[in-house]
A and B are shown apart, each in its own frame.
Chain A
Amino acid sequence: MLTYLIRGKVALFMKVILLSLIVAILLMLAQSAFAQREYVIALFLALTIFVLTITYLTKVSIPLKFFVPGILLLIAFVLGPILYTVTMSAFNYKTGNIISKEEAIVQIKARAIEADPSGVSFDIKLGKSDGKEAILASDVAKSEYFISTPVSRIPIAAGDVTLDANGVAITAPNFTALTNSEFANADKIYSTKHFMYEGKTFIALEGFEAGVLSRQALEYLPASDEFRSLIDGSIYRDNGRGNYSLPNDKTAILEPGWRAPIWFENYTKIFTDARVRGPLVKVFIWTVVFATATVLTTFALGLLLALALNKPIRGRRIYRSILVLPYAMPSVMSILIWGGMFNTEFGAINTLFGTHIAWFSDPNFARLAVILVNLWLGFPYFYLISSGSLQAIPSELLEAAAIDGANPRQIFRKITLPLLLQILSPLLIASFAFNFNNFNLIYLLTGGGPRNELDGQIAGATDILISYTYKIAFGSGTQDLGLASAISLIIFVLVASISLYGLRKSKVLDTFA
């Protein structure tokens, strides 16, 4: 029956249906990606379609049939983002420099509008003339009226308009005012338009009922890739770092900028710019202290328990089921619960000990709380694996030592502990690497705080590298994706080295190295 399902015509039919469905969806996605100018994504999708059809419709390679779906997913959602992180780290990619250069030029032009020094403004009505967006403008004081579109301006004699109570023209020949339903969507269309006036001046809308005589302050010169001020003639040039700026005053830049390649500057900044380096060094030291303290405390408590329960005493099974509960609970929930327990006013910890400690406002108490909560979360893991490993130590060794007259303490220090450390060292290293990036704990318990409000830095006392990086990328102030990516990659190199060292110890690598 099973064989039939795998080899039969039914299977072939299902395969073709499924494959065509997937290919159809991917094709649709590729097209819309291409239309949105996401060429890299479109190319990846096209390659995916190609690989899928080749793999499953021809007999090119049997292994490919097995690992193509998994590998494609890995490339799309793990390898792709890693490569994208590498790319971002080489760019000046932060708040104010998010968009592409083409978009930036468009936006600079749109923003470079200023009111004409004459200060003239008009009362206006929005509407259409000859099917085009138009305004009916009134200079009430002078009783002058005209219809203006982006391409023309037609004066209207005072006798041809009807006025409202304020003397503003509301109807004119060849002009239809917007209906209420059209009005709802008018803002986007009309607010970006330049309605003709005289010479280089035009009317820009200010709200729906007023237009201000305006002029373009900057003009873009495509040939030399410069912006020229139409007011004083000064020239803004591409400063090579994602902004147009004055050659002699680098701080005078035009907003917005764009994401521009700055190669290794995000990396060099980490080591040379004191404003970046200062907090980062502090955070790094705490990260190492935190991860080390966590590994030591969780291992010590777990081992203590494993030793105490390493004998079939009464109730061992009950102890065991209770002791793994912290590990079995979804950690997001338990971290949040601990957060509530450390509250100064209502928290159970202060009630229990009769204290009134502001746990999360004092840097040292906050750090203590973080380590304590992580001890609670992590000790069952080391209890479980230590008790497993204790069983693995040959009892002859311990008996021989006892016969030779060693006391239990000596046996533990000279035989059990060294052997255990040898067995468990890869896991201790893995735990260090995991806690080095234990984002959830920090983010959910303290949010990295408390932070020193006075010096205005975003790094808090309990921030570890990864939570600090997250704040740099998604924080409330300047979001610097380029710098965050550079730090992420440095963390990866650190953690990968630690993990590879651990794997080498566990000899996993030997099997295929």
Chain B
Amino acid sequence: MKKWLIHDSWRHLIGISISLFALFPLYLVVISSFSSSGSLQLTSFIPKEISFKNFHLLFNNPAIPYLTWVKNSLVIAGSVAILSVVIGSASAFAFSRLAFKGRKTGIQLLLLVQMFPAILAISAVYVIMERVYKFAPAIGLGTQAGLLLVYLGGAMGVNIWLLKGFVDSIPAELDEAAKIDGASAVQTFWLIFVPLAAPVLAVVSLLSFIGTFNEFILARLFLVDMQNRTVAVGLQQFIGGQYSQNWGPFAAGSILASIPIVIIFLSLQKYIVSGLTAGSVKG
């Protein structure tokens, strides 16, 4: 036997066994999505057939508006990702760079607020948006616009906090030099900070995108209408009722919806890990 195999065998043993643990559910979903039985059963490890029935069902069954759900998720998560970073980075810049009264208190308050788990205020959000619905049906409970606003507000705390940490790390000499050259705060922000921070802004916005895409319970409470749902809510409701029939399309649907997220995640791994070590945990 080769030397490396003997010497490192315990490492490979651990690596392989835990990899199997990691892969097992994912493998199961993949073979279920290509099986025609429509259940999440483990009949054999090697699939006996490859059927596209589930994928076909997903796109052609009017009772499952899967593409609409995907579109909803993309629109909502995309808007939150862009808007929260645009608004959040301006606030972060102010907190990090500009001198004003009560800045310290503001930062401490921000720290406390971003620590508040959104889920704890969920009944309050629900009741408030129910009341908003009575005078503004377009942005109240049950609407995507309302959900978007709630997400946007919720993303603010963490995003301002993360981005502030980044702005702090940009050397102050840069904007001092700009100031001496006569640049206003607004110019410093747009001409110095934004170009420098562009990669970080992209990462934070993609993180917001993943976080929003993954959000479940608010979307569940808000989006009652079938056509309005996000992928997560749609697919969950879909297997909620009848048990084994719907697992096939569910498997197909969740794989398709997961692929972009997994790709984004893997390509951002480095940033995500460093962002996490800065003290936040993915939901």
Contacts and interface: CB of A to CB of B under 8 A. Distances in A.
Interface string B64-101: 00000000000000000000000110110111001110
Nearest to B233: A332
B172 to A, nearest CB: 14
Nearest to A329: B258
Interface string B109-140: 01111011111111111111001101110010
A78 B91 contact: no
B87 A73 contact: yes
A474 B123 contact: yes
Contacts of B100: 61, 63-64
A13 interface: no
Contacts of B210: 330
Interface in A1-30: 2-3, 6-7, 29
A99 to B, nearest CB: 12
A301 B15 CA distance: 11
Interface in A407-464: 426-427, 430-431, 434, 437, 439-440, 443-444
Interface in B248-267: 250-251, 254, 257-258, 261-262, 265-266
Contacts of A32: 135-136
Interface residues of B, number: 104
Interface stretch (B5-13, B47-55, B173-181): B5-13
A304 B14 contact: yes
Nearest to A34: B135
B121 A82 contact: yes
B190 A485 contact: no
Nearest to B113: A78
Given A38-B131, A73-B153, A81-B128, A66 B88 contact: no
A78 B235 CA distance: 28
A346 B39 contact: yes
Contacts of B10: 308
Contacts of B104: 512
Size bin of chain A's contact surface: 35 or more
A140 interface: no
A78 B153 contact: yes
A62 B179 CA distance: 14
- Specify the main secondary structure of chain A where it touches its partner: helix
Contact of B22 (A74, A314, A376, A439): A376
B115 A332 contact: no
Given A78-B153, A309-B11, A336-B239, A329 B262 contact: yes
29 contacts: A29-B136, A33-B135, A63-B98, A66-B93, A69-B90, A74-B110, A77-B149, A81-B121, A81-B124, A305-B18, A308-B11, A313-B4, A322-B19, A324-B265, A327-B265, A330-B210, A330-B214, A330-B257, A332-B214, A338-B25, A341-B28, A348-B24, A381-B282, A427-B281, A439-B119, A440-B283, A444-B216, A474-B126, A485-B124
Interface of A: 2-3, 6-7, 29, 32-33, 35-36, 38, 41, 61-67, 69-71, 73-74, 76-82, 84-85, 88, 301, 304-305, 308-309, 311, 313-315, 319, 321-334, 336-338, 340-341, 343, 346-348, 351-352, 376, 379-381, 384-385, 388, 426-427, 430-431, 434, 437, 439-440, 443-444, 466, 469-470, 473-474, 481, 484-485, 488-489, 491-492, 495-496, 499-500, 502-503, 506, 508-509, 512
